[in-house]
A and B are shown apart, each in its own frame.
Chain A
Amino acid sequence: MIDLSTPVSEAAVRALKVGDEVTISGTIFTGRDAVHKYLHEGGQLPPGVSFRGGVLYHCGPVIIKDEQGNWKCVAAGPTTSIREEPYQWQVIRDFGLRGVIGKGGMGERTVEACKHHGCVYLHAVGGAAQVLADCIKRVPNVYFMEQFGAPEAIWEFQVVSFPAVVTIDAAGNSLHKEVLAASQAELAKYV
């Protein structure tokens, strides 16, 4: 298990390889479909949000307000990342991300961007909304709540020991590509 803290350095990211299990601690931001499309179309991040050296989480959480009026995350697993494939490379390039957390893997353009700019794709366990919400200790801020709605907003999370697996590294390797090729070859034996 490798512990990462945000902001993450390029050297720390380049040292990671496919199959490494990591934990992430520090500040992470959520961003999914609406945010990616918005940034792709030239939108700017709101004041207070910086992705530089940071980790973006593909997640649409369930968040409620507690008795004291603070945001409380009650469920927060990853959403399917491949929908961001048309945009992710650009967000990595323009906003300086070092890590993207999601599920299901991403495609060739993201693999290339990870290699070129020094970023990794971190696979969290899809559906594990409670285990992952437990790692979110505080929700200090939310951005674009009105514009995009709660699941699509940018949420700022303070996380401790958030678990994930490196499935795309900064050397151009992708576990998703490997498993697809191997399973394809295997299936050919049975049909």
Chain B
Amino acid sequence: MNALQDSLLELIRRTSTEIPDDVHQAILDSLEREKQGTIAANAMKIIEQNIALAKNKSQPICQDTGSIIFYVDCPVGFDQMNFEQAAREAVKAATKKGYLRQNSVDSITGKNDGTNVGPGAPIVHCHQHASPEVSVRLVLKGGGCENVGAQYSLPNEKLKANRDLDGCRKVILDAVLQAQGKGCGPGILGVCIGGDRATGYEYSKQQFLRKLDDTNPNPELDKLERDIVATANKLGIGPMGFGGQTTLLGAKIGVLNRLPASYFVSISYMCWAYRRQGVTLEATGKVQKWLYST
């Protein structure tokens, strides 16, 4: 293993075993809100215990260690092929150490070769930028929450959702209703308004790179984000769908241009076990600093 592979292995370990600080704070806040003695409050207590135990034991927060999605921002001249090779090696090593479950299955034969490396696994998005800095962000997204994601095409007659922000609000709240507790709530929504079917979902997932306590620079979207969380938390779905005060911990909305004929709203749901960490790297491949946790 070289320095880059070691850094990526450590990134995977911390992502799988440690919840980021901003998410942890949101979970603690929601634990406060739930009425003591209810099954919702007891579920939040188990979640809180689980977060501490996973960190102390350096073992996965959730056994579904999910899709492995790397987001890399890099300068011109950065060797992407070398990075991808290092990412694959780090994933194999992390799987052997039990930080990742053997989680990648051949879709036709059903075979699981136990390495987590194969077509589409892991996923690496590289993006060139004008700075010399190399940053690597990692999201591990489990299947339970992935399965409750939804894509709506507006207008939607059944939901009376037109091609405007109010229509977007209606379909986003419908997605929360449909998800109930199935995506391991309290959840976090990543939403993309616009794009095509592929870029819409992709950009909705990129919203999970934002911190929960940030502010959307677009005031209209900021208002919508806050409204979605406040309204969802009035629905009484609650942690695990047990009923209760906290249905969502956050909602993050991004926008892409669309074709005149298309108006997609793509919604990705992230479970409370929101595994997202990031690092900047030195030229040697060593970790310079952590982006989401101290």
Contacts and interface: CB of A to CB of B under 8 A. Distances in A.
B281 interface: no
A190 B230 CA distance: 11
Contact of A149 (B49, B112, B142): B112
B243 A175 contact: yes
Given A126-B144, A191-B169, A184 B177 contact: yes
A140 to B, nearest CB: 19
Q: Which 6 A-B pairs have the closest CB atoms?
A: A149-B112, A126-B184, A104-B182, A75-B63, A127-B273, A130-B53
Given A60-B64, A183-B177, A128 B143 contact: no
Interface of B: 39, 42-43, 46-47, 49-50, 53-54, 57, 59-65, 98, 101-103, 105, 110-112, 114, 142-144, 147, 159-160, 169-170, 173-174, 177, 180-184, 231, 234-238, 240-243, 271-273
A77 B62 contact: yes
Contacts of A175: 241-243
6 contacts: A62-B65, A103-B240, A104-B181, A128-B62, A131-B46, A150-B102
Find the residue from B39, B98, B174, B271 having the highest chain A CB count within 10 A.
Answer: B39
A39 interface: no
A179 B237 contact: yes
B101 A75 contact: yes
A129 B242 contact: no
A2 interface: no
A105 B63 contact: no
B62 A75 contact: yes
Nearest to B54: A130
A167 B182 CA distance: 13
A176 B235 contact: no
A187 interface: yes
A125 B142 CA distance: 15
Contacts of A64: 98
Find the residue from A61, A149, A152, A167 having the highest chain B CB count within 10 A.
Answer: A149
A190 B234 contact: yes
Contacts of B170: 191
Nearest to B60: A75
Interface residues of A, number: 48
SS of A interface (majority): mixed
A183 B182 contact: no
Interface in A45-80: 59-62, 64, 74-77, 79-80
Contacts of B110: 34, 148-149
Contacts of A151: 101-103, 112
Contacts of B98: 62, 64, 74-75
Given A75-B60, A165-B242, A105 B273 contact: no
Given A75-B60, A77-B62, A131 B50 contact: yes
Contact of B173 (A19, A127, A129, A190): A190
A19 B238 CA distance: 14
A191 B174 CA distance: 10
A103 to B, nearest CB: 7
Given A75-B60, A150-B114, A186-B234, A80 B47 contact: no
Given A149-B112, A179-B236, A59 B50 contact: no
Contact of B180 (A130, A152, A176): A176
Contacts of B65: 62
A165 B242 CA distance: 9
A180 interface: yes
A59 B54 CA distance: 18
Given A21-B42, A125-B240, A130-B53, 16 more contacts: A21-B39, A62-B59, A62-B60, A64-B98, A103-B144, A104-B182, A105-B181, A127-B50, A150-B101, A151-B101, A176-B241, A179-B236, A179-B242, A180-B180, A186-B235, A190-B231
A118 interface: no
A105 B235 contact: no
Contacts of B39: 19, 21, 165
A183 B102 CA distance: 36
Contacts of B160: 191
Nearest to A191: B170
A64 B63 CA distance: 12
